[in-house]
Homo-oligomer: A and B are copies of this chain.
Amino acid sequence: MRLKLFTLVLTIMGFNARAQNEDSLKIRAIADEILQHSKAYENLRVLTKQVGARLSGSPQTYKAEAWGQKALQQSGADRVIEQPCLVPHWVRGGKDEAWIVTPGKKNQPLDILALGNSMGSGPKGIQAPVILVNSFEELEQKKEAVKGKIVFYNYKFNDTYVKTFEAYRDAVGYRGAGPSQAAKYGAVGVLIRSMSHAADNNPHTGSTRYNDSFPKIPAAAMGVQDADRLAAMLEKESLSVFLKTSGKMLPDTVAHNIIGEITGSEFPDQIITFGGHLDSWDPAEGAHDDGSGCVQSIEVLRVLKAIGYKPKRTIRAVLFANEENGTRGGLKYAEEARNKKEKHIFALESDEGGFTPRGFGVTMSAELLNKLRSWLPLLTPYGISEINNGGGGSDIGPLNRELGTPLAGLQPDSQRYFDIHHARSDVFESVNKRELELGAVSIAALIYLVDKYGL
């Protein structure tokens, strides 16, 4: 124990001034190259504007894969690998429609998006009285009154969380489990308030997960303005809503993780992974979620080549398939790693948007966490001011669970993320070039340090 502590202290203290200066210059070179000559922003433009939305199984899935292969080749990968996996193939099936039924007056339309993986209402739609609940607790209290109704979960995104992912974790259960929970008590449909701070009325979709014990009822999200309006109207009178969605689940289909690799010069068997996911929700360009993580990962390969750094270890930029409604790409990547007995020493994901970087969240031993923190003085000039315990990403999570691989997730500033997350407003124009690039700088700097010193 003493020896271990001694080693740890040496690791931190012994990271001597000369090495620090050399690393500082190398990271400065990374930043200068990216801030002046990055391809990340232009790559993102092509992905979002020429490929566009790319939900798993859609024709754009394969356009995006072809784009990714080409971009990885151009970034200087030694080789680009397609890793096939079976992915769920959900389709929206048509335009989602809903309105508040106001007999004798003009119906009041609601702007909705069916939840991903949800089943359609049937071609005629459904019309039923609405019952508003603010929480699962309130649903339990009112469960006798739910039968035959549309349950409206009006759970509000909590503004008091400074880090907005905490508000998301707090609220996302209504999207995931809400439909089946309502169906359990006989509800015929579900509407949820979007998980967003945004003042606009965009609905925010995302996966739901049916419990097979209950009927698979239609479920959709609406924007916060519509949610407030409907709630205000329900204060005054009982109302029905008409809801028509057309979602269906087709048989699983094949998609691919796209992997760009540079073989390590000293320890080719040690693999360092960094990536984002290539799929997006169908109504969005997926610029922040997660085009940004993809183009940043591609940029890491490019910049290391550009500054003439030859990785000692094998590094891989991975564009994962199917994060949004299955995580099958991440599962497949870990499965293959285990089957091939690959040695994965570190994996990093960028899937919290292309915003200005602030920190990394990590899942690793306290010893490794301290090692990463000893590098903070090298990273703070580029915006990384904290390395937090806890974090990683959906796509790399399986590597940790299967192989114990240490994980890190880029944590950009989170204030704007849930304005656009899973909504039509997640478009190229919502990404700032320099913020995107500084994220790439932070990732490249950390990958450089992990490659040079190992973990």
Contacts and interface: CB of A to CB of B under 8 A. Distances in A.
A1 interface: no
A31 interface: yes
B197 A434 contact: yes
B162 A31 contact: yes
A416 interface: yes
A383 B385 CA distance: 10
A415 B441 CA distance: 14
B432 A416 contact: yes
A238 interface: no
Contact of A36 (B159, B386, B413): B159
Interface in A352-393: 356, 358, 380-383, 385-386
A415 B386 CA distance: 19
Contact of A356 (B31, B36, B385, B415): B415
A23 interface: no
A435 interface: yes
A381 B383 CA distance: 16
Nearest to A386: B385
A408 interface: no
Nearest to A38: B159
A160 B36 contact: yes
Contacts of A160: 31-32, 35-36
Q: How many copies does the complex hold?
A: 2
Interface string A152-182: 0000000110101000000000000000000
| Residue of A31, A159, A358, A382 contacting most chain B CB atoms (<10 Å) | A159
Given A162-B381, A197-B433, 8 more contacts: A36-B160, A162-B438, A413-B413, A415-B432, A415-B435, A415-B438, A416-B432, A416-B434
26 contacts: A31-B160, A31-B162, A32-B160, A35-B159, A35-B160, A35-B162, A36-B160, A159-B434, A162-B381, A162-B382, A162-B383, A164-B434, A197-B434, A356-B356, A356-B413, A356-B415, A380-B386, A385-B385, A385-B386, A413-B413, A415-B434, A415-B435, A415-B438, A416-B432, A416-B434, A419-B432
A199 interface: yes
Nearest to A199: B433
A70 B273 CA distance: 57
Interface in A407-455: 413, 415-416, 419, 432-435, 438
A168 to B, nearest CB: 14
Given A31-B162, A159-B35, A356-B356, A416 B435 contact: yes
Q: Considering the complex of A and B, which 7 residue pairs feature the smallest CB-CB distances, nearest first?
A: A385-B385, A415-B434, A35-B159, A356-B413, A415-B435, A32-B160, A35-B160
A197 to B, nearest CB: 6
Nearest to A413: B356
Interface string A19-38: 00000000000011001100
A366 B199 CA distance: 43
Contacts of A31: 160, 162
Nearest to A35: B159
